[in-house]
Structure 1
Amino acid sequence: MASTRPVGELLRGWRDRRKLSQLDLAIDAGISTRHLSFVETGRSAPSREMVLRIAEHLEVPLRERNQLLVAAGFAPLYRETSLAELGPARDAVRRILDGHTLYPAVVVDRSWRLLDANEPVGLLTAGVAPHLLGADANVLRIALHPDGVARRTVNLGEWRAHLLGRLRKEITLTGDPALQELHDELVAYPCDQPEPVPAGPVDFVVPLRLRHDDVPGGELAFFSIIATFGTPLDVTVAELAIESFFPADDVTTRFLGSVAGTR
C-alpha cells in the first residue's frame, strides 16, 4: 500500500484527474488556496483530517484514501475485509441474489471479478468456454471475449460500447492501472459490428440482446440495474456491485417465468 510519491503530489494528481483548479477545490473543501498549494508542493504537511477532507471532496475511493494516508505518514483508516468475513454485508448480498430468483444477478468487485451469482445467470453464460469461467472469472471478459457471451450477443457493437464506457468511467474514478490494462485487453477483442449502434426508438436503456433458439424470434432481451452499498467504511464493501438483469420485453418475461417454473 505504501507509495514512494509524496502525499501532495498524489493529491495534485487526483485534483488534475477531477479537472478542478486549486481555487475550485479550496472553495469546496473550505480551505485557503495558499494552504492547498503548500500541501501540494510539500511546503506544508497536511494533518490526517486535512487529507481525509480533501480526499472526500475529490471523491477518492476508499482504497486510494488509505494510500494517501500512508503517504502522509498516517495509518490506513479503512479496513479491507474478505467477503467471506463480512457477515451482515455478505448476508445482505445473498438475500438480494436469493430474492432475484426469476432473473439473473451477479456480484462483482472493482476489477469486475465475479464473486457470486444466482442460478439464472446460467442463461447468460450458456455456451461460454470453460477457461473464462474459472476461479478468477471476470464478467467483462465473459461478456466480450469471442469465446464468451459475445458470440451470442445480437447487438455486440452496442453492448460492447456500453460496457467499455462503464469501464472507462471506473478508470477515471479510481485511476487504477489494473483497470486500464483490462480495458486495453478488451478493446483488442474482435467485433464485427460498429460501436456504438444507436438504440432503437422504443429503448430506454442499452439492452443486452442474446440469441436463444427456444424463444419466439430467437432472441432474449435484458436491461440491468446496478446496486452498491451506501456510505461504506470497508474497502471491500465499497467496491462491491450487484448487477441485476430484468426482461426488456414480453417474450423474455414469459420465457424466464417458464424456466423458473421448472426449477
Structure 2
Amino acid sequence: MTQATTRRHPSSRTVPRQPVGELLRAWRKRRGFSQLDLACEADVSTRHVSFLETGRSQPSRTMLLHLAERMDIPLRDRNALLAAAGFAPVFSEHRLDDPEMQAARRAVDLVLTGHEPHPALAVDRHWTLVAANRAVAPLLAGAAPDLLQPPVNVLRLSLHPSGLAPRIENLAQWRAHILHRLTRQIDVSADPVLTALLDELKGYPAPDGPAVNASNGRSEPLPSHDGVVVPLRLRTEAGTLSFFSTTTVFGTAVDVTLSELAIEAFFPTDSATADVMRQALARSRPSLDHAKHP
C-alpha cells in the first residue's frame, strides 16, 4: 500500500465565527427540519429550540452535542459549534501517522492490500488521496504528471481533460454520477472547498450525454439509472476495463480525521477485467509513492 501524509486541518471553522444560535439554525435548515421537527427529535420543547437559535438562551455543552447528534452533524462541525458557544472541542484530530492512529492505519492497510488485485484507495473529506493499493497505479497511465503531484485530488484526476477523462468510455454517465454525488456531499456538509471543487469540475468540457439537466441554467448530464450500478469503463492497452465501486467508512470514529476518511474499492464487473487486473498486479511495482501532501 502506498500512503500519503494527512494534512492537519483546523478543528473548527473560525473565520468568521458565527454565533452558536445562527449555526444551529443553519444546520437545522440544511437538514430540512422545522423547529418542531428538531424539538421532537431531541425531546426538547420548540420554545427551547427557538431560544437557542435566537440567543435568548445559551446552550450547555451537553445540549449542543445532543442536538448535533440528532442532526447528524459531522464531527468537525460539532467542534465548531462547541467553539462558537465558548466550549473546548471534544473530538480529537490526529494525523494518520500519529501513534494514536496506529490501529486505524493498520485497518486501512489491511483493507487496501486485501482488495488486491483490484484497485482501492483512501481519500479525505475533500477527495484528496491518502493511500492507494498497487492496483491503482497501472490505471493512471497517460494522466498528466501535474495531476499526480501531491496533493492528488481523485475527482479532478478522474474528470480532468488531461486525466482519466479521455479514456473513460461512459464519460457522460460517469461525470453525471460524480457531480451528483459531490452535490449531495455539499448538501450534507456545506463545505466551501467541495463547493469550489464542484464548480471546477463543472467547468471541464462536458461530453455528449443522452440526457441534459438545464434546471439550473447550465447544461449538465443527468445520472443514468440503467442497470443496478454506475460502472466506470476505462480504456487501457489491455482493453476496456469495467468496474463498480463501494465506499467504506469508520462507523464508530470519534476522531475528526478518521470520521472523514473513506475507502473507495473498485470491483470488476466482468471476468475479463478481473483477469487483466490479476495479470497487471503480477507485473506491478509499488507506485504513487510521490502522492504525498503535507
Structure 1 stretch displaced more, 191-200 or 205-214: 191-200
Is there any run of 5+ residues in structure 1 with no aligned partner, and where?
none
Separation in 2, partners of 1:122, 1:145: 17
Which of 241, 257, 273 aligns to 1:252? It is 273
Secondary structure of the residue aligned to 1:84 is: coil
Alpha-carbon deviations, 1:231-250, whole Å to 9, x = none?
A: 21000000000001110112
Secondary structure of the residue aligned to 1:242 is: strand
Separation in 2, partners of 1:262, 1:125: 15
The one-letter code of the counterpart of 1:93 is: V
Q: Pairwise mapping of residues 65-84 of structure 1 onto structure 2 (< 5 A)?
A: 65-84=78-97
Which of 191, 196, 203 aligns to 1:188? It is 203
Which of 192, 200, 214 aligns to 2:238? It is 214
2:113 alignment counterpart: 98
Alpha-carbon deviations, 1:199-228, whole Å to 9, x = none?
A: 54xx3200000112323xxx1100011100
Separation in 1, partners of 2:92, 2:276: 43
Which of 139, 142, 155 aligns to 1:124? It is 139
The one-letter code of the counterpart of 2:261 is: L
Secondary structure of the residue aligned to 1:183 is: helix
Which of 184, 190, 209 aligns to 1:175? It is 190
Deviation, 1:251, is 1.4
Structure 1 residues 197 and 6 mapped into 2: Cα distance closer, same or farther (>3 Å)? closer
The one-letter code of the counterpart of 1:196 is: L
Q: Does 1:29 align with 2:42?
A: yes
Structure 1 residues 210 and 10 mapped into 2: Cα distance closer, same or farther (>3 Å)? same
Structure 1 residues 54 and 199 mapped into 2: Cα distance closer, same or farther (>3 Å)? closer
Structure 1 residues 197 and 8 mapped into 2: Cα distance closer, same or farther (>3 Å)? closer
2:158 alignment counterpart: 143
Cα RMSD of the aligned pairs, angstroms, is 1.2
TM-score by length of 2: 0.85
Alpha-carbon deviations, 1:175-197, whole Å to 9, x = none?
A: 11111011001100012222236
Q: Pairwise mapping of residues 50-61 of structure 1 onto structure 2 (< 5 A)?
A: 50-61=63-74
Separation in 1, partners of 2:23, 2:116: 44
2:214 alignment counterpart: none
Indicate the percent of aligned positions where both proteins have the same amino acid: 51
The one-letter code of the counterpart of 1:67 is: A
Q: Does 1:233 align with 2:246?
A: no
Is there any run of 5+ residues in structure 2 with no aligned partner, and where?
1-11, 210-220, 285-294
Where is the helix percentage greater, Structure 1 or Structure 2?
A: 1
TM-score by length of 1: 0.95
Q: Given that residues 93 and 257 in structure 2 are in contact (C-alpha distance below 8 angstroms), is that contact kept between their aligned partners in structure 1?
A: yes
Separation in 2, partners of 1:9, 1:196: 34
Alpha-carbon deviations, 1:73-120, whole Å to 9, x = none?
A: 100000110011111101110111111121001100000000110111
The one-letter code of the counterpart of 2:23 is: L
Structure 1 stretch displaced more, 10-19 or 253-262: 253-262
Separation in 2, partners of 1:123, 1:21: 50
Separation in 2, partners of 1:24, 1:262: 57
Deviation, 1:4, is 2.4
Deviation, 1:62, is 0.3
Secondary structure of the residue aligned to 2:222 is: coil
Alpha-carbon deviations, 1:146-178, whole Å to 9, x = none?
A: 000101000001001111111111111111111
